[in-house]
């Protein structure tokens, strides 16, 4: 029984492998760079799809969560604790093996937080902030919700832009690679390009597996019910406030995960990752993917980010996303891919039926 359920995930895994082989065969392994980056952005997008498309809660601040993740990990892995050696908190961290020492560019001693620990802290920080922000914000609806999330996103942007601790407008540079396990390292070194592609897409696969399970489950049904008629869902016993909040936090955590990994992959992060335009782009991709269509959003996310990161839109990058938003919302508010797929692949969208 589990086999049919997992078919889309298996197909995605095969597609991931096929793309790598194809790029290698076509002599264009460099494409994997942008595909890797697009993969990390996809984590934001699939989370946002569940929040917006399934649960019906708009967020114009998800770039903020991405940035919080990336910046936290970036700051922790570059902030030099060496001058503080001997102080008790630093000693404790050292004793726990959470710190790692090295040399900086100028050859000076460097003592920073281990990437693993930084990653965990980044996720926890994001989850905490998402919880604190989400709790009051998700009580709002419509324009008020849009405005509040936009406000949150703007605050994150202004804070990273105004804080010299995180490099203000320059952002953080020289962020070290992130050794995962078994020799896997998240780094932008071209020699490890294919490996990093698989790390990114492994994460995406994992996220997709979890999320497709989620949308087919009791929780997924409750989320769609909240989207359709919040009061009725509440009357059927769905704790709508809690479900919305959990979904918000989950999507924020996914965004932060993408942020952490991309930051280590890129070796740096700048305020542009937190900008409101970035958040709007994520919304545009979810919309063009079909709002409540996880696969559509994933596909459009990879496609558009891939093209954008390759500079295919030139100076019209933002304009392209603006026009996409307009066109989709005017002519196909349910998304480009949705109508098509709904007809052909009822099993994908209505998980209920696909499960025997």
Partner 1 sequence: MSLLVVKDLCKRFGGLQAVDNVSFAVASGSIKALIGPNGAGKTTLFNLIFGALLPDSGQVWFDGKQTDGWKPHQVAAAGMARTFQHIRLFPKMSALDNIAVGRHVHSRAGFLASMLGLPWTRREQRAVREKALEIMRFLGVEELADGEATSLAYGQQRIVELGRALACEPKLLLLDEPAAGLNMRETSEMAKLIARIRDTGVTVLLVEHDMTLVMNISDEVLVLSYGEKIADDKPLAIQKHPEVIKVYLGEDDA
Partner 2 sequence: MKTPGILATLILASLLGAGATQARGPTIKIGAIFSVTGPAANLGGPEARTLEMLVQEANKRGGIGGSQIELVLKDSASSPEKAISFAKQLIEEDKVFAIIGPSTSGETLKIKGIAEEGKTMLLSCAAAEAIVNPVASYVFKVAPNDSHAARRIFEQMKKMGIAKIGLLSSNTGFGKAGKEQVEKLAPSFGIGIVANEVYEKEATDLTAVVTKLKAANVQAFINWSIEPAQAIVIKNARQVGLSVPVFQSHGFGNIQYAKAAGPAAEGVIFPASRLLVADSLPAGDKQKPVLLKYKQSYEARYHEDASTFGGHAHDALLLLGKAVEKAGGLDKEKVRAALESLQGVVGTAGIFNFSAHDHGGLDMDAFEMQTVKNGKFVVYSDAAAKQ
Partner 3 sequence: MSLALLFQYLVAGITYGTIYAIVAIGFNIIYNATGIINFAQGEFVMLGGMIGVTLRALLPMPVAIAGAVIATMLVGALIEMLFIRWLRRPSVLRLIIITIGLSIAIRELALLLWGEGVRALPYFTGTAVTSLSVGDVHISPQVLWVLGISAVMVAALNFFFARTLLGRQMRACACNREAAQLCGISAKNMVTLSFVLSAGIGALAGCVISPITYVQYDSGSSLALKGFTVAILGGLGNSMAAVAAGLLLGTLESFSIWVMPAAYKDVIAISILLLILFVRPSGLFGNAEAARLKDY
- Residues near partner 2 (CB under 8 A) are 7-8, 11-12, 14-15, 18-19, 22-23, 26, 28, 30-31, 33-34, 37, 105-106, 158, 161-162, 164, 167-171, 173-174, 188-190, 262, 266-270, 272-273, 295-296, 298-299, 302-303, 306, 308-311, 314-315, 317-318, 337, 341, 344-345, 347-348
CB of 303 vs partner 2, minimal distance in Å: 7
Kindly state the tokens that stand for 296: 């559509």
What's the CA gap between 56 and 46, in Å, rounded? 14
Q: Indicate which single residue of 150, 214, 215, 297 sits in contact with partner 3 (rule: CB under 8 A).
A: 150
Are the CB atoms for 177 and 185 separated by under 8 Å?
Answer: yes
Q: 254-277: string of b/e by CB count within 10 Å (b at 16+)?
A: bbbbbbbbbbbbbbbbbbebbbbe
What's the CA gap between 52 and 45, in Å, rounded? 10
Q: Confirm or reject binding of residue 143 to partner 1 (CB under 8 A).
A: no
CB of 130 vs partner 1, minimal distance in Å: 14
What's the CA gap between 334 and 2, in Å, rounded? 30
**Interface of this chain with partner 1, residues 262 to 301, rule: CB under 8 A:** 292
What's the CA gap between 348 and 193, in Å, rounded? 32
Beta bridge partners of 172: 269
What's the CA gap between 81 and 194, in Å, rounded? 33
DSSP states of 261-301: HHHHHHT-B-GGGG-HHHHHHHHHHHHHHTSS-HHHHHHHH
CB of 270 vs partner 2, minimal distance in Å: 4
How many C-beta atoms lie closer than 10 Å to residue 31's C-beta? 18
Q: Confirm or reject binding of residue 222 to partner 1 (CB under 8 A).
A: yes
Are the CB atoms for 273 and 66 separated by under 8 Å?
Answer: yes
Element (H, E) at 133: helix 115-137
- Scanning 58-66, 74-82, 231-239, 259-267 for contacts with partner 1 by CB under 8 A, the matching segment is 231-239
Count of residues of this chain found to bind partner 3 when the rule CB under 8 A is applied: 42
CA angle 270, 271, 273 (to 5 degrees): 85
Q: Indicate which single residue of 19, 82, 84, 151 sits in contact with partner 3 (rule: CB under 8 A).
A: 151
From residue 2 to residue 41, what is the string marking binding to partner 1 with x (rule CB under 8 A)?
---x------------------------------------
Most distant CA pair in the chain: distance in Å?
66
Cβ proximity to partner 1, 18 vs 355, nearer residue: 355
Cβ proximity to partner 1, 109 vs 239, nearer residue: 239
What's the CA gap between 188 and 267, in Å, rounded? 7
Q: Confirm or reject binding of residue 350 to partner 1 (CB under 8 A).
A: yes
CB of 331 vs partner 3, minimal distance in Å: 10
What's the CA gap between 115 and 79, in Å, rounded? 12
CA angle 308, 166, 77 (to 5 degrees): 90
**Interface of this chain with partner 3, residues 32 to 91, rule: CB under 8 A:** 52, 56, 58, 60
Using CB under 8 A as the criterion, which residues of the chain lie in contact with partner 3 when the complex forms?
A: 52, 56, 58, 60, 136-137, 139-144, 146-148, 150-152, 154-155, 158-159, 161-162, 276-277, 280, 283-284, 287, 316, 318-319, 321-326, 329-330, 333
Question: In the complex, which residues of this chain contact partner 1 (CB under 8 A)?
Answer: 1, 5, 209-211, 213-214, 216-222, 224-225, 227-229, 231-241, 246, 250, 292, 350, 352-353, 355
């Amino acid at each position: 029984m589990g086999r049919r359920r997992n078919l889309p995930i298996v197909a995605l895994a095969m597609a991931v492998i096929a793309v790598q082989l194809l790029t290698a065969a076509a002599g264009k392994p460099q494409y994997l760079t942008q595909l890797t980056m697009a993969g990390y952005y996809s984590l934001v997008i699939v989370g946002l799809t569940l929040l917006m498309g399934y649960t019906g809660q708009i967020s114009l601040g998800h770039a903020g969560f991405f940035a919080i993740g990336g910046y936290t990990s970036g700051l922790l892995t570059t902030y030099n604790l060496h001058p503080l050696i001997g102080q008790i908190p630093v000693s404790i961290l050292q004793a726990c093996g959470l710190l790692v020492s090295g040399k900086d560019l100028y050859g000076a001693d460097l003592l920073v937080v281990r990437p693993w620990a930084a990653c965990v802290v980044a996720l926890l920080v994001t989850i905490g902030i998402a919880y604190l922000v989400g709790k009051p914000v998700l009580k709002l609806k419509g324009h008020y919700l849009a405005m509040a999330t936009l406000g949150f996103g703007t605050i994150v942007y202004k804070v990273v832009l105004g804080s010299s601790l995180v490099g203000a407008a320059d952002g953080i540079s020289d962020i070290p690679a992130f050794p995962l396990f078994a020799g896997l390292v998240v780094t932008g070194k071209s020699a490890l390009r294919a490996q990093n592609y698989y790390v990114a897409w492994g994460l995406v696969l994992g996220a997709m597996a979890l999320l497709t399970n989620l949308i087919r489950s009791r929780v997924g049904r409750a989320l769609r019910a909240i989207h359709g008629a919040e009061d009725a869902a509440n009357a059927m016993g769905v704790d709508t406030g809690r479900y919305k909040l959990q979904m918000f936090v989950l999507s924020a955590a996914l965004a932060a995960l993408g942020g952490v990994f991309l930051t280590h992959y890129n070796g740096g992060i700048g305020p542009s990752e937190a900008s409101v335009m970035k958040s709007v782009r994520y919304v545009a991709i979810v919309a063009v993917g079909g709002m409540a269509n996880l696969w559509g959003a994933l596909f459009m996310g990879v496609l558009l980010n891939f093209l954008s990161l390759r500079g295919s839109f030139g100076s019209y990058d933002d304009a392209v996303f603006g026009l996409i938003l307009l066109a989709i919302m005017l002519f196909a508010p349910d998304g480009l891919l949705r109508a098509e797929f709904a007809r052909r692949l009822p099993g994908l969208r209505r998980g209920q039926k696909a499960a025997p």
